Structure 1
Amino acid sequence: MKKTLRASLLSAMVAAATLGTQAVASAADAVNWPTRPVQVVVIANPGGDTDFNARMMAKYFNRITGKTMVVTNVAGGGGTLAAEQVKGAAADGNTLLFTHPGQLIVNEVAGLSEDSYEVFDVACIAGVDKSAVFVASRQSGVTSMKDLIDKAKAKPGSLTYGTEMGNFSHVQGLMLEKLTGTKLKMVDAGTVSDRVVAMLGGRVDLGAISYGSVQDYVNGGQMVALGQPNDEHNALLGDVPTLKEQGLDITLDKPYVVAFPKGTDPAIVKKMADLMKQITEIPEYAEDLKKFKQPVAYFGTEESKAILAKTREDFMQFKDDLRKAK
């Protein structure tokens, strides 16, 4: 009798959950959104990978919905200025944030902000940057990842790693140190363009930089691409091997997160997630992403939250180093 009752209750719960999911989906289909231009606030300046991905999203959003998505770049404060602008905006679906863990999570772990992804209504992960490579300057004398490890172990702190202290590239360097058992000299070398110039001038030995930003210098012999920190080989990066292929269990993805102010209608949040999924299924969109050496990727709302939670857990081990840098 008890088993039958439990089974009946379980069936009722499953049916209720299914109906609830269907109700949300139905509401998302029916919601009258967007009704006017939607502003997407990007945490970075124009020209970089984050801005590029936001503009690709806006391009196809405009095409599918017939409504305009306006990209607004609000750089500064490690992304906190953009986050605060969206956090304080009306929760009407007309303002959203385009960001990544370098703002949502690193700032929290580093103590730059008390906020994390929970203060927003996360819609989806619109893409994942798999274009980064660990790269060495010609002047460093480093010719491979094995060479880097050998030199760094033989003389700890002798190799300089250029980064923006306390930000995502800093986490990449700290993780490289931990998983290779090495000690690098972390130096604040500024933005990506600043770091490229510093490496070309021999002032910085190493960096983690988007391959598109250094490809010409790798082909020209001024830099050496040591490895891509992807779980699988990104063919768009040519023959640059993954770190896993070199015996190092290092995966460092940078997902691009789409989020609304807290309290936004769940039907709008779901509709945005569904629209982004629809965008990723357009062949022309995939071709556009190749310009930044990036394959198509997408994760729905619940998957995105789980990824962000796991990322925060991984980054917490570097809390002390990041807070010292700030």
Structure 2
Amino acid sequence: MNMKALIALTGMAASLYGTAAMAQTDWPQRTVNVIIGASPGGDTDFNARTMARYFEEITGTSMVITNMPGGGATIATSAVRDADPDGYTMLFGHTGHLIVTEVSGLADYGIDDFEICCIPAIDQGAVFVASASSGLTSVADVQAAEPGSITFGTEFGGYSHLQGLIFQQGTGAEMMVVDTGSASEKIANLLGGRIDVAGIAYGAVQDYVTAGQMVVLGQPNEERNPLLGEVPTFAEQGVDFVMNNPYIIAFPKGTDPEIVAKMGEVMEQITQIPEYATDLEQGFRQPVSFLPQAEAMERLNAIRDAYMPYREALQAAR
């Protein structure tokens, strides 16, 4: 059998498998409400809206994105947790929303209180940037600064707060950590010179970097994300700081397992669409990633275990 025939048969088998699995339930029959704990325009919002567009192409059913920022995303996660488990309310969040909030005590619940569907994507586009007015151009500059002289902007109890703690531990730097709020608020504070450093998605700041208003200090990936260009990892700079942020699709506890499984199948199909990969690359310099339910739970539990040692430090800042 030649290679083209083998590829065709493989594709046909995958298509038939997906059709058979998805025929187990007639969900969705109406619009699915996707709740996110972030403001419009950020990386979480972008990923959710990109997913929704392809979800409609595959299923013929629409999704509506409901932004519920605030409270470290606890407003959004609480809304999903308390929703009717009929499959028409879904959370699109990330580990900051469902793990860091539990570790920090912002929420008294976590991933075990939801039906975790899958990891639809992994944010590998995060970078640490410094405002041009800070004069910082490298990690070495941060390490050489007087303790407390650098202001790090974050959202207390959230993912970027934990980023700051792990970054400080890895560099030995002592920064003044302040609560600035969401990604858009961090950008405004960086541009206004009110904070010096922040962890943020490269896609949200690339224009400011190009314009010379911000300087990229590094990316917290194990290996370079080539979509970020020549941005070095922190490991390359001698800093023990690797921190990826998986996104999470979750439903209220008690949602029909067949609905959860079907959503996972649809999401996996989305990740195989070339245009979807192009959208992620152009939007937030993010490569395509996907982990099904079992692998997702294994990854999320490992992340929770890794973050628990920072529980007291996160809670002390609240």
Cα deviations across residues 9-53 of structure 1 (Å, max 9, x unaligned)? Answer: xxxxxxxxxxxxxxxx96654222112221111111211111111
Aligned counterparts of 1:85 and 1:197: Cα–Cα separation in 2: 29
State the alpha-carbon separation in 1 of the partners of residues 121 and 244 from structure 2.
Answer: 10
Question: Paired residues, what number?
Answer: 301
Instruction: Specify the alignment match of 2:43 in structure 1.
Output: 49
The answer to whether structure 1 residue 271 and structure 2 residue 262 are counterparts is: yes
Q: Deviations over 1:79-112 (max 9, x none)?
A: 1121122112222212111111111011111111
Matched, 1:323 2:315: yes
* Structure 1, unpaired ranges of 5+: 1-24
Which residue is equivalent to 1:90?
84
Instruction: Check the 8 A contact 1:110/1:166 in 2, yes or no.
Output: yes
- Secondary structure in structure 2 of the residue aligned to 1:174: helix
> What is the rounded CA distance, in whole Å, between the counterparts of 1:297 and 1:131 in structure 2?
12
Q: Which residue of 2 aligns with 1:130?
A: 124
Do the aligned partners of residues 221 and 317 (structure 1) sit closer, same or farther apart at CA in structure 2, a change above 3 Å counting? same
Which of 156, 169, 183 in structure 2 is aligned with 1:165? 156
3-state SS, counterpart of residue 168 of structure 2 = helix
TM-score between both structures, scaled by the size of structure 2? 0.90
Q: Does 1:191 align with 2:191?
A: no
1:139 matched to which residue of 2? 133
Residue 208 of structure 1 aligns with which residue?
199
Q: 2:233 aligns with which of 238, 242, 248?
A: 242
RMSD: 1.9
Look up the match of 1:17.
Answer: none
Are the counterparts in 2 of residues 49 and 292 from structure 1 also a CA contact under 8 Å?
Answer: yes
Residue 181 of structure 1 aligns with an amino acid whose one-letter code is G
Corresponding residue for residue 303 of structure 1: 295
Structure 1 distance, partners of 2:100, 2:52, is 26
Q: Give me the whole-angstrom Cα distance separating, in 2, the residues matched to 1:199 and 1:89.
A: 37
Q: Provide the TM-score with structure 1 as the length reference.
A: 0.88
Deviation, structure 1 residue 73: 1.5
- The alignment partner of 2:251 has SS state of strand
Q: Which has more radius of gyration?
A: 1
- 1-side partners of 2:21 and 2:273: how far apart? 24
Query: Bigger CA drift: 279-288 or 40-49?
Result: 40-49
CA distance in 1, matches of 2:132, 2:88: 48
Rounded to whole Å, the distance in 2 between the matches of 1:143 and 1:38 is 45
Change in CA separation of 1:27 and 1:281 when aligned onto 2, cut-off 3 Å: closer
